[in-house]
Amino acid sequence: MSDEIIEELRKVKDGIADECAYDIDTLVDHLRAKDLSLGQKTVDLRAMKTDAQNRNRKNQRHETA
């Protein structure tokens, strides 16, 4: 059963890639437009990573002081 699911996911993935002519910029634009049309937000994890790095640096400064 899981093989059928994986195969279906690959077909969808390949179909989207083919629609976008395997161009990464076109693919990103397509996926962002799809998110917007569905009312979904894309989460930018870079901000979370930066916040975590800043907290770690702050903690390290306090530990060495």
Q: Is the separation of the CB atoms in 47 and 54 below 8 Å?
A: no
Q: How confident is the model at residue 40 (pLDDT cuts 50, 70, 90)?
A: confident
| Average pLDDT score over residue span 13-30 | 95
Instruction: Give me the pLDDT at residue 1, please.
Output: 60
How many CA atoms does the CB half-sphere of 31 hold within 13 Å? 13
